[in-house]
Chains A and B, each alone.
Chain A
Amino acid sequence: MGGEEIDITTKVTAERIKKYLEQGKRFDGRKTDEFRNIIVEPNVSNKAEGSVKVKVGKTEVIVGVKMETATPYPDSPNKGNLMVTAEFLPLSSSRIELGPPKFDSIETGRIIDRIIRESKFIELEKLCIKEGEKVWTVFIDIYTINDDGNILDAAGIGAVAALKLAKIPKYDEEKEKVDYKEYIGKLPLREMNPFTITVHKIGKHLIVDPTREEEDVSEARISIGSSEGIIHSLQKGNSGCFSAEEIKKCFEIVEKSWKELFKKVNAQLK
């Protein structure tokens, strides 16, 4: 194989990470339930209806919201549509290869789609232009810029932040065209903060916001999408298992981390 393979965290380092966790400690000095520094930079792409750059430690993603008109789905003739995609760019890591989207990026898009959809964060019922004929489609597109672990939670923060910044462009009914130079108002959202927080299991230990090294060592993960204590989406990933007791602990960790994210993210969107 190529030169990148050796970069996968080595067995000896993995052992050290586990051993250190026995003492409740992490390599970078964080507590097990502590996030890295989070930087949210609004409006990084002015052609998007809303956009944001999110940095979690050295991990960086860019998320943009675009709006387009479309025909509604037959089962929701008066509701807007939602579409989420995540692109893991080869630009962001030597581990990402060229070619069609791999599982990681597809899963990330789907998990973010579910939390936004199930929490009813976007008031899709207000995005109807003409019942049965024309509604808005909200696109959330996620791009990775630098992958140093926990892309998923960074993408989730980015999706919430970009939506909060998003505006609805003007729809010209006569020309049946969107005028992207004029905006009629903010994207209608409910008062909530549906972040996705992933808890990883390493040995017997549960941690949040793993670095690349820690993610390599992780045996199982659980991604929990929630807002104000209500869980809207969940995905257990990787081949390891969680006991019911551990799941309970995960919920507690997520609740605590959610409060931390709520404060940090919203302060930077002001």
Chain B
Amino acid sequence: MTEEHKRTVVIPGETIKEGDAYLPGEGTEKQGNKIVALRYGLAEEHNRLVKVIPLSGVYQPRRGNIVIGKCNLITFNGWVIDIGTAENAFLPIMETPRYVAKDRLDEVMKIGDICVVQIFSVNGRGIDLTMKARGLGRIDEGIVFRINSNKVPRVIGKEGSMIKIIRDYTNCNITVGQNGYIWIKGDKIEDELFAKKAIMFITEKSFMEGLTEKVEEWFKENGGVKKETKKTEEKSGDKEED
């Protein structure tokens, strides 16, 4: 890692850089000739742009995010889905992959059911969802749990590298919702719990560098055997990070 990329933990109000050469990025503000942090997180400077990567904080819904939610209400034309945000999210009947009759909404999803959906818009009225893509739909089996949504990029890894390692060692299908909810489905419950344990390990060590190697080591120490890579669909979200 180059000097330029070096990250430091900053707290609100802390001066990250001084001098006119720097530009304020996300989570920062320019005060005079200083770049000041506006939240707790990891300060990073790249090409003179200074930003703060959050370590904590609630999930901020964004267009295109794949999320996991729970059906809270069925209306005459769709489902209200709780995706862990303050605003309710709505899945209109038109956004399901197949035609659904208006009196048969509960055949697709009942109250309390869990689903993988994608955000197609975030606006003043709320969040609109779709189920019309591969990998989206109701969850019928497996385990679902939550991690801090800020750690999602680490669990996915660069171009999905981390999630691939977990898949290879556990043989599970894993869907990581950008809202921090994770769905794991494997042949055996042991495999699912093994994958969950690996993910919890990643969330605990998420700020360390060389995390990918550490996770491989962890699997070996915990008796994991790398399975032959089978082609699995990349269902996880769109944000990736090394």
Contacts and interface: CB of A to CB of B under 8 A. Distances in A.
Which residue among A5, A10, A20 has the maximum number of chain B CB atoms within 10 Å of its CB?
Answer: A10
Contacts of A2: 86
Interface residues of B, number: 24
B144 A1 contact: no
Name the prevailing secondary structure of the B interface residues: mixed
A6 B193 CA distance: 20
A5 B70 contact: yes
B195 interface: no
A19 B189 contact: yes
A16 interface: yes
A1 B141 contact: no
Given A6-B70, A20-B189, A13 B82 contact: no
A10 B193 CA distance: 16
B53 interface: no
Contacts of A13: 143-145
A16 B84 contact: no
A10 B142 CA distance: 10
A23 B114 CA distance: 25
B139 A12 contact: yes
Nearest to A22: B189
Contact of B192 (A1, A11, A16, A23): A16
B69 interface: yes
Interface string B32-76: 000000000000000000000000001000000000011010000
29 contacts: A1-B72, A1-B82, A3-B82, A3-B85, A5-B70, A5-B82, A6-B69, A6-B70, A6-B82, A6-B84, A6-B146, A6-B181, A7-B146, A10-B70, A10-B112, A10-B144, A11-B112, A11-B114, A12-B114, A12-B140, A12-B142, A12-B144, A13-B143, A13-B145, A15-B141, A16-B189, A19-B189, A20-B189, A25-B189
Interface of A: 1-3, 5-7, 10-13, 15-16, 19-20, 23, 25, 27
Given A5-B82, A6-B181, A19-B189, 18 more contacts: A3-B84, A3-B85, A3-B86, A5-B72, A6-B69, A6-B82, A7-B146, A10-B144, A11-B113, A12-B140, A13-B144, A13-B145, A16-B141, A16-B143, A16-B189, A20-B189, A25-B189, A27-B193
